[in-house]
A and B are shown apart, each in its own frame.
Chain A
Amino acid sequence: MRPSESLREVYGKKLLELGGLHNDIVVLDADLSSSTRTSDFGKKYPGRFFNMGISEQSMVTAAAGLALAGKKPFVSTFAVFLMRTYEQIRQSVCYNNIDVKFVVTHAGITVGEDGATHQIIEDVGIMSGLPNMRVIVPADSIETASVIDYLVKKTKTPYYVRLSREKFPVVNDDDYQFTEGKNTVLKDGTDLTIFCNGSMVGLSLQAAAQLKEQAIDAAVVNVSSIKPIDREGIIQYGKRTGHVVTAEEHSIYNGLGSRVAEVLSEEYPVPVVRVGMKDTFGKSGKSWELFDYFHMGVKDIVSAGIRSFREVNKYETIS
């Protein structure tokens, strides 16, 4: 797998490109524009870029006002700091159901050395709970570019797009196009399905290769669209493989693992083993060290796969 361009780099470039074509795009940041990469847009289109200072509540409410007056605001900061404006997002953006896009960076534990204060692992759950909000976790640079295109050209409602700081391998084909509410099967398999997203997609593909050596044929399915979620796609692979692992750079509560388990338990119960943060804060370290430390590395996905595969399907008699 070749290395991906950094996702925030791609975000910055797409904003520049689309900003020239769509005059209604405005961008807001909270003193992190050189990290989120919205700064290049700011240099090229200073009249449509607003650095609101370290004032996230002001940023989100101003974005709501801009959207109410017909603009298409992109709001960026580190994922963890946007969360302090949960209620502004709830009341002023989601309840109004207006065209505000939150594209946040530095999500998850791969922020690395900055440590637990900056490693948000509960944001997908927080944002998914909001009516009218849609939540996307892209896996690589190709998907990130496609998602931003989609948001600009096809949507008029609130979205939360979660980007990481680290570069991850390219997992999608060059001509890949994001489809909301649709999973992507990156590797097919018959024995086990690994539902994953974001940084965990590359790791899951490696895990699938190792599982093959143990005679377990694992499918790897990218669930970048967390909300709306691809219920049919999940049920189809639950039925096809009968055993499931989920892998996410997020708490196993209220994120991908919860959503997949919820769909399967309602429609087609099969054994599900979740890989992710287990109700704990992160810590400082290098990203690859942290994946191992928190049991979210390739070997952990492999052992989760073996556990799920060997689990007798307790619900078989029902189906």
Chain B
Amino acid sequence: MVENQEKQDDRKGLDNETLRKISQRARSLIIKMVYSARSGHPGGSLSIIDILTELYFNEMNIDPTDQNLASRDRLVMSKGHASPALYSILALRGYFPQELLMDFRKINSKLEGHVHKGVPGVETSTGSLGQGLGIGVGMALASKIDNNPYRVFVILGDGEIEEGNIWESLMAGSKYRLNNLVAILDKNGVQLDGFTRDIMPMERLKDRIDSFGWATYEFNGHDFSEIRKAMDFARGIKDKPVFLIAKTVKGKGVSYMENNSKYHGSPPANEEEYEQALKEIDAA
């Protein structure tokens, strides 16, 4: 297999304050989307949104005006229930008008409840957990076959990695030395039924992934300087796939949603909660 050519550092170089403002707007849109739909998954959307902001506004080689460019970087949102996060960031990045976000989960809308390929900028439908890493492996293999040096990012949830498919795909990524593949784990510690440590403990996670032959790195998934260091780490790895473990907070930015499994899959319960969420996000 031909090794990919060296990738140039082609990042946009937006500063932390600019990125923070973008993710603030995205957080606000996430709340508006799930409240308008009266359903959806705010908790895991708010925990991943800062990382998505860095990826779509700095890190990834993408062009919203040329969405089928063969050399584009790909992102697979394996935790497909975080559709409010992905859809809002795609809208802010210019893939489609922001007005469409308010039709989320409604009949006649393209914005399906879980991430859907029919939405501009989305690479694959997801929603059943555990499948996106394998899809990322396939995309990364295609990049190698074609000697087309794009990179593939896969966003995983920490509940999601309880799926056996993930560990199978970790083996495959390692076997084929997919140095163009970057998995990012949104380790917010909460899944639908409660705390991940109670549902299915996964101690020494970094060691486990290391032992599968991936380069691992832990960082704070809400600090843009830290996020960028993680991306630097990924760019520096040349001989194996990369697994970034982001320590995050479920429901980050809305006090009553933080670390609360109730808001894994429920919108603000009433007008009061809705207003409070938007106020807290604006004040941050």
B201 interface residue per 8 A CB criterion? no
Complex CA gap A55/B138 in Å reads 14
Considering the complex, give the chain A residue whose CB is closest to the CB of B170.
Answer: A58
B134 touches which one: A48, A53, A65, A71 (CB < 8 A)? Answer: A65
Known: A53-B171, A64-B135. A92 touches B143 (CB 8 A): no
Interface residues of B in 94-118 (CB under 8 A from A): 117
B1 interface residue per 8 A CB criterion? yes
B130 to chain A, nearest CB (A): 8
B141 touches which one: A50, A88, A91 (CB < 8 A)? Answer: A50
Interface of B is mostly: helix
Considering the complex, give the chain B residue whose CB is closest to the CB of A90.
Answer: B128
B-side interface residues, number (CB < 8 Å): 35
Which stretch of B54-62, B161-169, B260-268, B272-280 is in the interface? B161-169
- A62 to B131, Cβ gap below 8 A? no
Interface residues of A in 39-70 (CB under 8 A from B): 47-48, 50, 52-53, 55, 57-58, 60-70
- A88 to B165, Cβ gap below 8 A? yes
Complex CA gap A226/B128 in Å reads 28
Q: Which residues of B contact A91 (CB under 8 A)?
A: 125-128, 131
A311 interface residue per 8 A CB criterion? no
User: Chain A, interface size: which category?
Assistant: 20 to 34
B118 to chain A, nearest CB (A): 10
B136 interface residue per 8 A CB criterion? yes
- B138 to A64, Cβ gap below 8 A? yes
Considering the complex, give the chain A residue whose CB is closest to the CB of B142.
Answer: A69
- B1 to A58, Cβ gap below 8 A? no
- B139 to A57, Cβ gap below 8 A? no
A319 to chain B, nearest CB (A): 41
B30 to chain A, nearest CB (A): 23
- A66 to B171, Cβ gap below 8 A? no
Pull 10 A–B residue pairs with CB atoms less than 8 Å apart, ordered by A. Answer: A62-B134, A64-B138, A65-B136, A65-B137, A65-B141, A66-B138, A68-B123, A69-B74, A69-B138, A91-B126
Interchain residue pairs A-B with the least CB separation, the first 6: A65-B138, A61-B134, A69-B142, A58-B168, A55-B168, A62-B138
